[in-house]
A and B are shown apart, each in its own frame.
Chain A
Amino acid sequence: MLRDLLSRWPVLQQIRTGSDGTGAESWSERTRNLKPKTAGCEVTRGVCPYCAVGCGQLVYHKDGKLISIEGDPASPISRGHLCPKGSNTHQLHTHPGRLTKVKYRRPHAKDWEDIDLDTAMNMIADRVWDARERTFEETRNGESLMQTTAIAHLGGATLDNEENYLIKKLFSGGLGMVCISNQARI
Chain B
Amino acid sequence: MPGLGTSVGRGGATTAQQSLADSDAILIMGSSMAEQHPVGYQWVVEARERGCKVIHVDPRFTRTSATADIWVPLRAGSDIVFLGGLIHYVLENEKWFKEYVLHYTNASTILRDDYVDAEDAGGLFSGWDAEKKKYDPETWLYKGSEPKKENGQSLPGHHDAGGGHAKDRGGEAGNTTEFETDDTLQHPRCIFQVLKRHFARYTPEMVERSCGVPQDVFLRVAETYAAASGRSKTGCICYAVGWTQHSTGVQIIRAAAILQLLLGNFGRPGGGILALRGHASIQGSTDIPTLYDILPGYMPMPFFDADSKTFEQYIKQHSTEAGLWTKFEDFMVSFLKAWYGDAATKENQWGFNFLPRVTGDHSELGYWLDMKDGKLEGLFVMGQNPAVGAPNGRLQRKAMANLKWLVVRDLVEIETSTFWKDSPEIERGELRTEDIATEVFLMPAAGPAEKSGSFTNTQRLLQWHNKAVEPPGDARSELWFVYHLGRMFKGRAARERTPKNDALNALTWELPTEGAVAEPSAEAVLAEINGRDLTTGKLLSTFEDLKRDGTTMSGCWIYTGVKPAENRNVANERSAHDALGHGWGFAWPKDTRIIYNRASAAPDGTPWSEEKKFVWWDEEKREWTGKDITDFKKDMPPDHKRDLSKGGLEALDGDKPFGMHPDGRGWLYVNSGLKDGPLPTHFEPLESPVENPLYPQHQSNPPSDKKQRPDNPYASTPHDSRFPFVLTTYRLTEHHTAGGMSRSLSHLSELQPELFAEISLELAELTGVSPNDYVTIVTPRALISARALVTPRMTPLIIQGHQIHQVGLPYHWGWKGIVTGDVANDLLAISQDPNVRIMETKGLVCNLIPGRHPAGHKALDELHELLEERP
Contact = CB atoms under 8 A, between A and B. Distances in A.
A168 B486 CA distance: 11
Interface string B79-116: 00000000000000000000000000000000000000
A153 B407 CA distance: 9
Contacts of B377: 131, 135, 150-151
B166 to A, nearest CB: 13
A101 B42 contact: no
B357 interface: yes
Nearest to B436: A108
Majority secondary structure of chain A interface residues (helix, strand, loop or mixed): mixed
B347 to A, nearest CB: 15
B217 interface: no
Contacts of A133: 500
A59 B473 CA distance: 20
Interface string A154-180: 111111111111111111111111111
A183 B244 CA distance: 12
A102 B444 contact: yes
Interface in B6-63: 11, 16-18, 36-40, 42
Given A160-B522, A175-B504, A46 B478 contact: no
A160 B281 contact: yes
Contacts, number: 496
Interface string B493-504: 000000110111
A121 B484 contact: yes
Interface stretch (A11-19, A32-40, A122-130): A122-130
B292 interface: yes
Interface in A112-156: 112, 116-117, 120-125, 127-129, 131-133, 135-136, 138, 140-141, 143-156
B382 A178 contact: no
B94 to A, nearest CB: 32
Given A157-B383, A174-B503, A127 B482 contact: no
Contacts of B359: 140, 145, 147, 149, 178
Interface string B403-446: 01101011111000100110000000000011111111111110
A84 B479 contact: no
Contact of B376 (A105, A150, A185): A150
Contact of B456 (A64, A93, A161): A161
B331 interface: no
Interface residues of A, number: 119
Contact of A76 (B433, B438, B440, B581): B581
A74 interface: yes
Contacts of B458: 51-54
A160 to B, nearest CB: 3
Interface stretch (B361-369, B635-643, B786-794): B361-369
Contact of B380 (A112, A122, A132, A152): A152
B483 A99 contact: no
Given A146-B357, A176-B503, A186-B838, A154 B281 contact: no
A40 B50 CA distance: 41
Interface residues of B, number: 170
Contacts of B286: 184
Interface string A70-112: 0000111111011111111101110101111111111111111
Interface string B251-292: 001000000000000000000000011111111111111111
Given A52-B280, A53-B40, A170 B503 contact: no
B526 interface: yes
Contacts of B421: 105, 110-111
A153 B468 CA distance: 29
Contacts of A154: 364, 379-382, 384, 386
Contacts of B367: 149, 152, 179, 181
A120 B443 contact: yes
B744 A95 contact: yes
A50 interface: yes
B397 to A, nearest CB: 14
B384 A162 contact: no
A75 B448 CA distance: 18
B354 interface: yes
A123 B817 CA distance: 29
A151 to B, nearest CB: 5
A173 B384 contact: no
A61 interface: yes
Given A45-B465, A83-B39, A128 B304 contact: no
Contacts of A56: 463, 574
B339 A151 contact: no
A84 B383 contact: no
Contacts of B375: 149-150
A74 B602 CA distance: 34
B357 A170 contact: no
A182 B384 CA distance: 8
A174 B504 contact: yes
Given A103-B413, A155-B383, A178-B362, A168 B290 contact: yes
B472 A98 contact: yes
B736 interface: yes
B244 to A, nearest CB: 4
Contact of A170 (B250, B463, B507): B507
Nearest to B253: A186
Nearest to A170: B486
Interface stretch (B202-210, B536-544, B745-753, B843-851): B745-753
B66 interface: no
A168 B288 contact: yes
Contact of B486 (A50, A51, A150, A166): A166
Nearest to A139: B499
A167 B838 contact: no
A109 B568 CA distance: 51
B518 to A, nearest CB: 12
Nearest to A99: B444
Contacts of A85: 733-736, 741-742, 748
16 contacts: A44-B467, A47-B464, A50-B736, A52-B278, A52-B458, A54-B463, A88-B745, A95-B745, A98-B444, A146-B353, A147-B304, A154-B384, A162-B525, A164-B290, A183-B279, A184-B279
Interface of A: 42, 44-57, 59, 61, 64-66, 69, 74-79, 81-89, 91-93, 95, 97-112, 116-117, 120-125, 127-129, 131-133, 135-136, 138, 140-141, 143-186
Smallest CB-CB A-B distances: 5 pairs: A160-B453, A100-B473, A54-B457, A76-B581, A156-B290
